[in-house]
Amino acid sequence: MAERMLQFVSRPQAMPDKRAVAERRSDFGEIYKGFARERAEEQAARCSQCGIPFCSIHCPLGNNIPDWLKLTAEDRMQDAYVMSAATNTFPEICGRICPQDRLCEGNCVIEKGFESVTIGAVERFITETAFDNGWVKPNLPARELDRSVGIVGAGPAGLAAAERLRGRGYQVHVYDRYDRIGGLLSYGIPSFKLEKHVVSRRHDLLVEQGIVFHLNTPIGSEAGEMPLSELRRRHDAVFLATGVYRTREVATPGSGLPGIVPALQFLTASNRRSYGDVVPEFESGLLNAAGKNVVVIGGGDTAMDCVRTSIREGAKSVTCLYRRDRANMPGSVQEVKNAEEEGVQFSWLAAPEAFLGDEQVTGVRARRMKLGMPDATGRQVVEPIEGSSFVVEADMVIEALGFDPEPLPELWAQPDLVTTRWGTLKIDHKSFVTSLPGVFAGGDIVRGASLVVWAIRDGRDAADAIHEFIGAPEAEMTLAAAE
Ligand code: FAD
Ligand code: SF4
Ligand code: SF4
């Protein structure tokens, strides 16, 4: 039934139902159910159709949110899908995992007083409805071009670029060192936030579109790796979207003891199991939290993913140590709430001093911290409180302090590939070109650890820049062999 808009005054915000805690602690299914049709229409109709929609301004993709909310409220779902897909390559993924409280929903004007429109949940509903009805089709090119683009990295940035370039008719080849596409969508983000069939479904569409994937194909200068020079020879342009993977380690006495593991190794093992793989390091117990006292160090979304994965694997206890307080943690408020509901203990204002144990880690000695004066960046300085040490028992410690870029110029023997002082690739932000002619870059390898929605934005924009660079005039293009 079509709904009238501006219902926010009389109709409260309602999120999709969350699965019961006891049920979700024991499996890796997504914790939110999708909206039922009527609920989606009712919630979409709360939008006040702002003349200046701050939700769209704060969406990295500039989604036409008020328009697709109105179409949803009017039950014009196919039109809503077409509009939503026009600006977002993977709307059903963003609807699930964007930190909406910091982006679109956090800037919804009715947030103050009435609680925001549930934009992410409606976005997910629109595309899931489109999949259910067979409206999601591969973006097939109208005709083929004889120009090709090589893309390194099958994460959201590489895939968004590939989809857009292929839609224009380019021959698109995506190279990835992993055995599956998706990058962190596959091997970083756990299934309870993003079930793996959602990624596999997109893989099938991209293959149908004619994108060629070269998996298990690392680019680099070591034996068995494909040199970048070879890619540059094969393709008219190359897009680098390799993400950031170098783990930051805690440098304290006891570092390196068995039982201390990097976050991404732990999450990758768990995600591989969600795909149905047998993971020897999990079977051996090395990357398995079952029956263990687990301590996770860090306060970002990766740390939240680790604590919640540990709970689902059957950990005896899970404690998160973070050196700042709840109000200053980088992780999403919603994720902390979910973790607390699931039984995670948070130890705020606590930093590790030493890892204890001889053959294997047995505990973490930590000390209490306090927040001091703001530094030059405006963030309060963290200072230790003398004599406040305490010990947390631990059979497994997971380090989740963030990621830095791998040193690509050295690893790839490309001294002319210029990086910033943070090790990210330096590009011209308008054209996405790196210091190497014909080589472009985007996503986390340029921004540093960021968000999926920004990676998609970069991929789409870089694709347009590459199209402009190759600049094939219509007359020079070849017709599809099939024509
Ligand atoms: P990636 O997704 O990292 O993909 C890079 C790809 O490049 C990988 O497939 C990799 O195998 C490949 N590659 C790297 N080097 C080579 C090489 N030499 N040769 C061939 N291939 C190579 N963001 C959100 O918005 N919401 C979330 O909830 C969220 N949760 C997260 C949870 C975790 C645990 C982590 C680590 C990150 C999370 N993020 C989240 C961030 C988000 O996943 C990233 O910002 C995003 O995936 C970056 O996309 P990308 O395409 O730049 O890189
Ligand atoms: Fe919000 Fe992300 Fe969707 Fe943009 S892409 S509307 S930020 S959920
Ligand atoms: Fe609707 Fe909120 Fe966006 Fe305004 S800011 S158009 S109320 S979703």
The span from the first CA to the last CA of the chain, in angstroms, equals 44
- What are 296-323's pLDDT values in tens digits? 999 999 999 999 999 999 999 999 999 9
Nearest residue CA, atom 5 of ligand 3? 108
| pLDDT of res. 2 | 67
Measure 432 CA to ligand 2 centroid, in angstroms: 23
Which ligand lies nearest the alpha carbon of 414?
1
- Our answer on whether the CB atom of 188 is closer than 6 Å to any ligand 3 atom is no
CATH superfamily of 148-244+405-482: FAD/NAD(P)-binding domain (3.50.50.60)
Residues of the chain short of pLDDT 50, as ranges, are 473-483
| pLDDT of res. 475 | 36
- The CATH 1.10.1060.10 domain(s) of the chain lie at 2-132
**Of 159, 175, 189, 199, which is best to mutate to test ligand 1, by the most ligand atoms within 8 angstroms of its C-beta?**
189
Among 99, 115, 167, 158, smallest CA distance to 137 is for 167
Nearest residue CA, atom 7 of ligand 2? 59
Ligand 2 nearest-atom number relative to CA 65: 6
Measure 51 CA to ligand 1 centroid, in angstroms: 35
| pLDDT of res. 315 | 97
d(CA 43, CA 450): 29
- Our answer on whether the CB atom of 66 is closer than 6 Å to any ligand 3 atom is yes
| pLDDT of res. 477 | 37
Choose the CATH number for 249-402 among 3.40.640.10, 3.40.50.300, 3.40.50.1820, 3.50.50.60. Answer: 3.50.50.60
| pLDDT of res. 251 | 86
| pLDDT of res. 146 | 94
Count the neighbouring beta carbons within 10 Å of the beta carbon of residue 89: 24
Ligand 3 nearest-atom number relative to CA 116: 2
Conformation bin of residue 323: beta by default, left when phi > 0, alpha when psi is -120 to 50 = alpha
- Our answer on whether the CB atom of 43 is closer than 6 Å to any ligand 3 atom is no
- The CATH 3.50.50.60 domain(s) of the chain lie at 148-244+405-482, 249-402
Under DSSP, the state recorded for 243 is -
Measure 429 CA to ligand 1 centroid, in angstroms: 20
pTM of the model: 0.94
* 2-132 belongs to CATH 3.40.50.300: no
Measure 263 CA to ligand 1 centroid, in angstroms: 13
Count the neighbouring beta carbons within 10 Å of the beta carbon of residue 200: 14
- Our answer on whether the CB atom of 55 is closer than 6 Å to any ligand 3 atom is yes
Which ligand lies nearest the alpha carbon of 153?
1
